[in-house]
Amino acid sequence: DAKTTQPPSMDCAEGRAANLPCNHSTISGNEYVYWYRQIHSQGPQYIIHGLKNNETNEMASLIITEDRKSSTLILPHATLRDTAVYYCIVRVAWGAGGTSYGKLTFGQGTILTVHP
């Protein structure tokens, strides 16, 4: 699976949009971009994923650049409860064989702090 690079920390004011960047310059054509978040001492929670088109759900929006080498997770109206560690990962979307098949690898993530 391709590696990702995220800033270690970001701040955001409550009610404003939080834009979390992720670089994945070595992403392959069969890899999706996934975002998870982890609130302290809990298991990570799935947020959103996409292949090449922008995606939106009730939690967030995902913007993927045309060359797919980077993406941005957008929380449109951040609240204090959105304070968490946000992980961007890339994962094979269909069988590619080899020992990496099915592997799910997390990086260090971005600590997002939403302040009043």
Partner 1 sequence: DGGITQSPKYLFRKEGQNVTLSCEQNLNHDAMYWYRQDPGQGLRLIYYSQIVNDFQKGDIAEGYSVSREKKESFPLTVTSAQKNPTAFYLCASSTPPGQGNTEAFFGQGTRLTVV
* Residue pointed to by tokens 């992403």: 27
8 A C-beta contact, residue 93 and residue 31: yes
Q: Is 16 in the site for partner 1 (CB under 8 A)?
A: no
Return the SS3 of 112.
strand
Sign of CA dihedral 66, 13, 89, 54: negative
Residue 2 and residue 27 in contact, taking contact as beta carbons nearer than 8 Å: yes
User: Is the Cβ of residue 41 or residue 53 nearer to partner 1 in the bound state?
Assistant: 41
CB 8 within 8 A of CB 107: no
Site string for partner 1, 27-46 (x = CB under 8 A): -----x-x-x----xxxxxx
Site string for partner 1, 55-94 (x = CB under 8 A): ------------------------------x-x---xxxx
Asked whether the beta carbons of 20 and 11 are under 8 A apart, the reply is no
Query: Quick check: 12 and 78 in contact, CB under 8 A?
Result: yes
Of 10, 59, 106, 113, the one binding partner 1 by CB under 8 A = 106
Residue number with CB closer to partner 1 (40 or 81) = 40
If the CB atoms of residues 4 and 70 are measured against partner 1, the closer one turns out to be: 4
Q: Which is nearer to partner 1, 14 or 59 (CB)?
A: 59
Site residues (CB under 8 A) for partner 1?
32, 34, 36, 41-46, 49, 85, 87, 91-96, 99, 101-109
